[in-house]
Amino acid sequence: MSGQRTLWGVIVIAISMTSCDNTNTPGTVNKSKGTIGYSAMSFKNPFFVVIKNNLEASANDAGYELIANDADSDVSKQANHIDEFISKGVSAIVLNPTDRLAIGEAIKKANAAGVPVFTCDLQCIAEDVDIAGHIGTDNYQGGTLAGQAMVEALGEQGGEVLVLDFKQANSCVLRVDGFMEVINQHNEGRREGKIAVIAMVNGGGDEDIGYKATSDNLVAHPNIAGVFAINDPSALGAWKAIDEAGKNEQITIVGFDGAKAGKQAILEGKIFADPIQFPAKMGNDIMEKILAYQHGEEFDPVELIPTSLYKREDARKDPEIQN
């Protein structure tokens, strides 16, 4: 499987190599089957917390313990996590890669040590790395839904659009690619009502960075009519900047994720729409892939989950949020 791994969110799951008898017999205590190591991109983003919680529950149900570390969007920290997992003899590593390329060298260490590496949500596209399995979102498809939402929101008038991207993550690159496909199709053959992407800037996938990037661009481009943000935290940062500038009526935000805070913002009219992901399924299903790998069973090495578009009418019917 070398050389093919473009996984947006590499999850390293480590499970100790020690075999333990987990049979219930009188007078004995069940032992853990091993340990799974998970290095999350950032627990500041609730999306990765949902993955962690469901991965941990699934691991515990299967008799494994979970070590969950926060890389804080720092590739050096994530590389150190991988070293730690290897030294502890984990059975598997799950990663949300902090950088789609730079994390490759650390993954190669796990490959050399015989520890299977799985990625979740984010992919790694470094050459000559071996990823045992990946589950994530069909991010290109989600990007096309975001583009369709922006076309709907701006209508025949069109307008200037700011994109808050995050090029370190392959998933975010794919989201922007899908978004741009729809925007370019919309503009083809038009003289009027075009949607002009006037800037693509790093939103960091983070509320504070998204706020600063949007604030700066509202000064540089006062006529912005729309913002596409590659996740909910950066979309919420954009909304804060737009609200402070008094441009809520002028600018429409399309986000991505469908985390609880993003859904609430859609209900309140702060965000127009989100292509939503399914992090709980990711956390559960990546554990299924790990177990299949451990047992030598066949499994789908790459699974991409389609998104669905979530708008205000969906939020009004959603029991997860306050109506």
152: amino acid identity, one letter: E
Domain of 109, in residue numbers? 34-131
Question: Which pLDDT does position 17 carry in this prediction?
Answer: 38
265 and 151 within one domain: yes
Question: Which pLDDT does position 32 carry in this prediction?
Answer: 81
The string of pLDDT tens digits covering residues 177-212 is: 999 999 999 999 999 999 999 999 999 999 999 999
Domain-ending residue, one of 67, 100, 131: 131
Does residue 75 lie within any of the structural domains?
yes
Domain-ending residue, one of 131, 152, 176: 131
Question: Which pLDDT does position 134 carry in this prediction?
Answer: 97
CATH number of the structural domain spanning residue 58? 3.40.50.2300
Nearest in space to 277 (alpha carbons), one of 96, 118, 117, 130: 96
Domain-ending residue, one of 131, 153, 186: 131
First to last CA, the chain: 47
Total domain count, the chain: 2
- Alpha carbon of 119 to those of 50, 88, 125, 144, 322: distances in Å? 15, 19, 11, 23, 33
> Taking the model in full, what pTM does it have?
0.80
pLDDT along the chain (323 residues), means of 10: 39 37 42 92 93 98 98 97 98 96 97 98 93 97 98 96 94 96 97 97 96 98 98 97 98 95 96 96 97 96 96 95 74
143 and 98 within one domain: no
Reduce the secondary structure of 1-46 to three states and give it as a string: CCCCCCCCCCCECCCCCCCCCCCCCCCCCCCCCEEEEEEECCCCCH
248 and 143 within one domain: yes
Question: Which pLDDT does position 170 carry in this prediction?
Answer: 87
121 and 51 within one domain: yes
User: How many Cβ atoms sit within 10 Å of the Cβ of residue 268?
Assistant: 13
212 and 111 within one domain: no
Inter-residue contact 190 to 152 (CB < 8 Å): no
263 and 245 within one domain: yes
Does residue 66 lie within any of the structural domains?
yes
